[in-house]
Amino acid sequence: MFDLSSQLATRKDSGLYRNRMTSNSPQGVQVVIDGREYLSFCSNDYLGLATHPELIHAMGECAGNWGVGAGASHLLGGHSEPHEELEQALSVFMGSERVLLFSTGYMANLAALSSLVGRGDVVHQDRLNHASLIDGAALSRARLQRYPHADMNVLAKQLESGKGGRRIVASDGVFSMDGDQAPLTEILELCRQNDALCYIDDAHGFAVLGEQGRGIVDSIETCSKDYSGGHLLSMCTLGKALGSFGAFVAGSEEMIETLIQQGRSYIYTTALPPAIAAASYAALKVMMMEGWRREKLSSLVEYFRTGCQQRGIPLLESATPIQPVMIGDNDRAIAVAETLKHQGLLVFAIRSPTVMAGSERLRITLSATHEEEDIDVLLDALANALEDGGSA
Ligand SMILES: *Cc1c(COP(=O)(O)O)cnc(C)c1O
């Protein structure tokens, strides 16, 4: 008999069972979930673009002209003008020779890693990397070497000791559970010295970091050269700060062409709906025009951090909208999240083994659509819940 019940029961017993909630409202600071209203601190819609009228209009208009489904894969007739326009605009924006659109960031990571390396090659990965990077490496059949979080000494040793074959160093740009940023300058330098490719997954940095919102690569002055020189390839998602859906990889002509030719999660799947590409294009334009969103977000991050400091709420070092409040125990993290939920605040507990045992936390995310008053409410509730041990 094909039995799954004991496996599910084990998950339940060890407190790892996950439950979905159903929203009765669009993304936003105020959400309705299972019929109750909450002030939300768990969305990746960092700039508040998911419900922006320009995006909604662009999507509706494009659907009117192009229909809903792309109807085929990109290589077999599904690639259309709206896709092409978005790719052109993104490549100009990123300063890379070319970009390639994907239906999701997960698929982009699978395609990139599995088509650029294979047996006999090595993928070096930060221990805190996103699951999709780990899965991409597994699919590639290259050897996976992980290094302790942001530890450049270990990475340097790994790169020096590896011989033969191609090497990729893959890292999150902004780490999704910790909110800190990869030491990109150092990683890139090590890659240049060792003829390795730096592959950066900037799902949480794109449209949030950098003067114009180019993300973590904005900190690299030679970025365009690194792209065209084949030292740097970056992946950004359109479903987080851009409020839309999809992802893209930016890099050299040759890298992108390789992904088109060999990326199985690019080739063997239906193209993104054109209307989604149009919405993403509108989002890119709004993001570029409305720099105030990024500025406001960063001032809210400051405000939150200062408030935590004043109230003795323990945070990790993070300058991004991902602000983990450290709890240090699964049951307590869940209890604190539950307490906040009773007070109408939506915050998720991140438990081990998703994060290391002892570093269980609440993952708070801020958005440009929050106001300081919203953050005040959260800060007071957090301080109280932590004092009560989350047992209220
Ligand atoms: C969300 C995320 C992805 C996946 O992107 P999707 O477009 O949601 O599939 C990949 N990497 C990181 C670091 C992410 O946070």
User: What is the share, in percent, of the chain residues with pLDDT greater than 70?
Assistant: 99
Catalytic one of 52, 79, 204, 370: 204
* pLDDT at position 215 over 50: yes
Say if residue 390's pLDDT is above 60.
no
CB 216 within 8 A of CB 202: yes
> Which of 259, 289, 319 delimits the end of a domain?
289
Annotated catalytic residue 57: no
Protein residue with its CA nearest to atom 8 in ligand 1:
105
Q: Are residues 154 and 272 in the same domain?
A: yes
| Assigned domain for 110 exists | yes
Does 280 lie in the same domain as 161?
yes
Q: Where are the extended beta strands (E) located within 116-196? A: 122-126, 143-147, 167-172
Whose CA is closest to 276, among 48, 43, 72, 69? 69
Average pLDDT over residues 163-167: 88
- Segment 204-215 shows an average pLDDT of 97
Same domain, 227 and 188: yes
3-state class (DSSP) for residue 86: helix
Ligand 1 within 6 A of CB of 325: no
Q: Is the pLDDT of residue 391 over 60?
A: no
**Which residues form the domain of 249?**
53-289
User: Do 256 and 297 belong together in one domain?
Assistant: no
Angle at 106 between CA 5 and CA 214, to 5 degrees: 145
Q: Which of 241, 269, 289 is the last residue of a domain?
A: 289
In a domain, 331, yes or no: yes
Catalytic residue status for 176: yes
Cβ(204) – ligand 1 distance below 6 Å: yes
With a CB cutoff of 8 Å and minimum separation 6, the contacts of 295 are none
Query: Which of 101, 176, 242 has most ligand 1 atoms within 8 Å of its beta carbon, as the pocket-test mutant?
Result: 176
160 plus 203 within the same structural domain: yes
Residue 392 clears pLDDT 70, i.e. is over it? no
Q: Are residues 275 and 316 in the same domain?
A: no
Q: Determine the distance separating the centroid of ligand 1 and the alpha carbon of 236, expressed in angstroms.
A: 8
Q: What per-residue confidence (pLDDT) applies to 353?
A: 87
Between the alpha carbon of residue 37 and those of residues 18, 133, 201, 333, 341, the distances in Å are 21, 35, 34, 22, 10
126 lines ligand 1 (CB under 6 A): no
Look at residue 169 in the predicted model and tell me its pLDDT: 98
253 within a domain of the structure (yes/no): yes
Is 205's C-beta closer than 6 angstroms to any atom of ligand 1?
Answer: no
Looking up residue 365, the CATH number of its domain turns out to be: 3.90.1150.10
Residue 389's pLDDT is 64
230: left (phi over 0), alpha (psi -120 to 50) or beta: left
> What pTM value is reported for the model?
0.96
Domain count across the chain: 2
Q: Which long-range contacts (CB under 8 A, 24 or more apart) does 182-188 make?
A: 182/126, 182/150, 182/216, 183/150, 183/152, 184/216, 184/217, 184/219, 184/220, 185/219, 185/220, 186/152, 187/152, 187/155, 188/220, 188/226, 188/231, 188/232
Q: Which two tokens stand for residue 321?
A: 């909208």
Ligand 1 mean position, distance from CA 207 (Å): 14
Across the range 331-357, mean pLDDT stands at: 94
* Annotation marks residue 204 as catalytic: yes
Residue 4 lies in a domain: no
Residues 139 and 248 both lie in one domain: yes
Give the pLDDT mean for 329-352. Answer: 95
Does residue 348 share a domain with residue 243? no
Check pLDDT > 80 for residue 89: yes
Pocket lining: 339 vs ligand 1, CB cutoff 6 Å:
no
Which is nearest to 314 in space by CA: 383, 252, 371?
383
Structure tokens at 85: 């326009």
Model pLDDT, residue 301: 98
What mean pLDDT value characterizes the chain?
96
Residues 258 and 300 in one domain: no
- Give residue-wise pLDDT tens across range 354-385: 899 999 999 999 999 999 999 999 999 999 99
Query: Would you list the DSSP string of 151-166?
Result: -HHHHHHHHHH--SS-
Asked which of 261, 289, 317 is the last residue of a domain, the reply is 289
> Does 205 map to a domain?
yes
Catalytic residue among 240, 252, 296, 318: 240
**Percent above pLDDT 90 for the chain:** 93
**Nearest-atom index, ligand 1, CA of 102:** 7
**Is residue 272 classed as helix, strand or coil in its secondary structure?**
coil
What is the tens place of the pLDDT at every residue in 250-279? 999 999 999 999 999 999 999 999 999 999
Both tokens assigned to 301: 């991050």
